[in-house]
Structure 1
Amino acid sequence: MTPRTSLVAGLFAACFLGSALASPAQDLFDQATFLIGFYYNGPAKVQGFRELRKTYQPQLDQLCAADKDKCGFEAARKVIGNIIQTIGDPFTQIMTRSELADEQRYGAGLGPAAPRIGVWTRPAPQGLVVVEAFPGEPAYEAGVRRGDVITAVNNAPATAQALQSAEAAKNPIALSVSRQGSAKGLNLTPRVAEQSMQPRLDINNGIAYLRVYHFYASDSFSPAEAIYNAVRQATQRGAKGIVLDLRDSLTGYDSEALLAAGAFIPKGGFVYDRRFQGADETHTLENGQLYNQPEGQEKQLENQVSQPILTNLPMVVLVNRYTFNSAEMMAYFLQHAGRAKVVGEPTAGALGISGNAEGPLINGEFVAVASLKLKNLDGSPFPARVTPDVLVPEDLNALSSGRDLALEKALELLK
């Protein structure tokens, strides 16, 4: 993902066909179809914005038949959702203002803005299986760990919606938590996360475990810098191997993922295939330095880490179906270079595309559009997703019984 940008106002004004007399639904529909039809450059075949409007206008007319002049945003949002579902690439989506604000917080080294107890969960018949408990947040401080099962939220069966609603209420939450059949009750008060989503390092039995949640960056925080520092610490503490865990990892900035890869590979890169500018843009990594070279121009230094380190420790990368976009790229750079074995599930499928969140839309949301295709430095296209060298499907039953099968395989390979 490239850094989020807003649409150039003059370009939009020239192409936006809505009028002040149209309904809110029509105005939103016209704006979103322009953004998608004009910018889209992903794997799907998408019509230009005028044709896109002609194709989907009947859907909007049907939803707005009862009150065409006053038809609200929700009708247009439903049609836009249908367009995005038909396109079918995971990058192109509607984003809320709060989601975009969270990304900006990630880039500052913080967690989401809304109070939470600090877990990622997956639904299962027995409740919500914890797949991540963030150090420094309420659940972790109360002893909740990966593999625990939340069976009840405020004395009701645990569901994702129930937990989200309880966190949003900002009141203390009563949880029933089970660990391998042993249950306990907890009372947790949600709070705003601070630095809990920064990369974290643990070393056990000579193996460094490096967990990375995203690749968003800013002037004040760099995941790449944190990864170099973690590799340095692992080396100083005598680690004999590294497990890089990118399971459930969010996206971020593509260039940040490439820069982070420099802790493990001396060289690498990718090429942005741009739709409208008519010129490619090449990003290359050389010994902890990141260069940017638009087609026909000189190569320029884009970014660098303050203290580069290149480790040759054996390593394994963990991925799953939720490893997304820039995180997929990190895994791909290491696999493609022959530097690491990848273990887990095929990734989300947003590896070969990137782009921006355009807007704001007139309802305050944004639409993320896959406007860039990625190529290797030799001109070959990126694959759609990372295919693991060793396939280990996620097994929530095993996890809730205390076994992390993908991590076990990683440790086995490192032996």
Structure 2
Amino acid sequence: MVRKALLSLLSLGAMGLALASPAQDLFDQATFLIGFYYNGPAKVPHFRELRRQYQPELDRLCASEGNRCGFEKARKVIERIVRDIGDPFTTLITQEELINDQRYGAGLGPAAPRIGVWVRESARGLVISEAFPGEPAYQAGLRRGDLITQINGQPATPARLKAAEAEGRPIALSYSRQGSPRSVTLTPRVAQATMQPRLELHGDIAYLRVYHLYSSEEFSPAQLIHDAARRAEQAGARGMVIDLRDALTGYDSEALLAAAAFTGGGGFIYDRRFQGQDETHTVEDGKLKVRHESGDEEELSELKQPYLARLPVVVLVNRNTFNSTEMLAYFLQKAGRARVVGEPTAGALGMSGSAEGPLINGEFIAVSSLRMRNLDGSPFPLRVTPDFIIEEDLEALAAGRDVVLERALELLR
């Protein structure tokens, strides 16, 4: 995904916005951005038709407030438009989310205090899908597969955990490990460098956990993936598991560079809505280049130490593997360089775009303005379909078994 915040507000006058109310202004700006730039799989009308279609709903919400109608009323209508489009890439982005994206690109964790776990909700509580080394939960001994049953004496839910972390005060957790009850009190804190790719060596199998593909001039997950592939082969690994389950998005170029650690090269085409603006991105020898439709070519970036690994690879994905991390799995699968195991991915593979804005309420909106195509011109699928489809089994995970990882290990052995 490409999230590049515009440095200034789009000209309201250029878009013909009526200064009737804050709600109307926000509605007009958001519908322009969606209707003008959208190029995804859904059928989205031109922005004037989009406004005509949803204006009655805004009028109904603002009926009693007139020109005092606030941003929140328009936000409800914009959320409705996003839901109706049904494209997982097109969404509202809060300032908090944008700040987190920037922190990920700097090699840091999110800005809000947390205990350092990703969880999946089950009938019996919250199953930990990831405990981040260096953060409070991991340091206290919690691990993947532990089942959190209570938070401060109340049944464990994702909303209750998020609220408790936001308060920043000590959190009392009751949890179990394979049926054995335990308890711990944790104090949330802001994560630092805990979401960078993590390599573990288990005998002759390397395990590489990738959480996202955001980057900056100082930090590159792709370079860390190349480094991990080099270290794994030098250590004598005869196979590698790349775990992309629950992985966030990032930058499409970073996905292509990361895949080159195993493919050596490759590329994709950004198919834009407007004639003459398509771009072809390719990577070779660690160098990322773009060729514009005009024929002009330029080098965008270069890895400091590219590496080409030969060891067999299995990639793990699930329904939450999203956008740019879907692309990493797709590049490896399409090149015949890895087999993919797990659940079909989130469905944001075949599109990309920008975080347009800022909107006048301080938020942004991601718009699927780019269709993804292979170098031969064929379209990307909307999601990665694993070679071996295995649904995640939370009950098995809580009992100490990771059925998806087990299948991957079988393939490598």
Give the TM bin, normalised by the shorter chain.
over 0.9
Task: Name the counterpart of 1:44.
Answer: 42
1:113 equivalent in structure 2: 111
Once the two structures are TM-superposed, the CA of residue 16 in structure 1 deviates from its matched residue by 3.7
Post-superposition Cα deviations, 1:279-327, rounded to whole Å, max 9, x if no partner, equal: 3100011122211111122332221211111011011000000000000
User: Taking structure 1 as reference, are residues 73 and 10 closer, same or farther at Cα in structure 2, changes over 3 Å only?
Assistant: closer
State the match for 1:368 in structure 2. Answer: 366
Deviates more, 1:357-366 or 1:239-248: 357-366
Structure 2 residue corresponding to 1:122, chosen from 120, 123, 126: 120
**What is the CA-CA distance between 1:12 and the residue it aligns to?**
5.2
Cα 1:278–1:299, aligned 2, differ >3 Å: closer, same or farther?
closer
Counterpart Cα distance in 1 of 2:44 and 2:397: 41
Q: Which 4+ runs in 1 deviate beyond 4 A?
A: 7-12
Once the two structures are overlaid, the 10-residue window that deviates more, 269-278 or 153-162, is: 269-278
Question: How far apart are 1:8 and its partner, in Å?
Answer: 6.7
- Taking structure 1 as the reference length, the TM-score comes to 0.97
SS in structure 1 of the partner of residue 261 of structure 2: coil
Structure 1 unpaired stretches of 5+: none
The residue type paired with residue 49 of structure 1 is F
| Paired residues of 1:7 and 1:358 also in contact (CA < 8 A) | no
Given that residues 354 and 369 in structure 2 are in contact (C-alpha distance below 8 angstroms), is that contact kept between their aligned partners in structure 1?
A: yes
Distance 1:50 1:7, change over 3 A: farther
- Give, in whole Å, the separation in 1 of the partners of 2:332 and 2:290: 20
1:347 is matched with which residue? 345
**Residue 58 of structure 1 aligns with which residue?**
56
Fraction of identical pairs, as percent? 65
CA distance in 2 between counterparts of 1:223 and 1:232 reads 14
Structure 1 residue matching 2:346: 3-state secondary structure: coil
2: CA distance between counterparts of 1:397 and 1:68?
53
Deviation for aligned residue 1:177: 1.3
The one-letter code of the counterpart of 2:78 is I
Whole-angstrom CA distance in 2 between matches of 1:94 and 1:326: 18
- For residue 197 of structure 1, what is the amino acid of its counterpart? M
Give runs of aligned pairs for residues 5-404 of structure 1, distance below 5 A: 5-6=5-6, 9=9, 13-19=13-19, 22-276=20-274, 278-404=276-402
Counterpart AA for 2:368: A
CA distance in 2, matches of 1:6, 1:18: 22
How many Å apart are 1:207 and its aligned residue? 0.4
Deviations 1:113-139 (A, max 9, x none): 011000000111111110111111000
Output the amino acid matched with 2:6.
Answer: S
Quick one: structure 1 residues 188 and 9, their matched pair in 2 at CA, closer, same or farther if it must change by over 3 Å? Answer: closer
In structure 2, how many angstroms separate the alpha carbons of the residues matched to 1:262 and 1:64? 52
The size of the alignment, in residue pairs, is: 413
Deviation track 1:79-118 (CA, whole Å, cap 9, x = no partner) reads 1111101110100001110100000000000000011000
Partner of 1:2: 2
Distance 2:61 2:182 in 1: 49
SS in 2 for 1:191: coil
Cα 1:277/1:105, change in 2 over 3 Å = farther
Runs of 5+ consecutive residues of structure 2 not aligned to the other structure = none
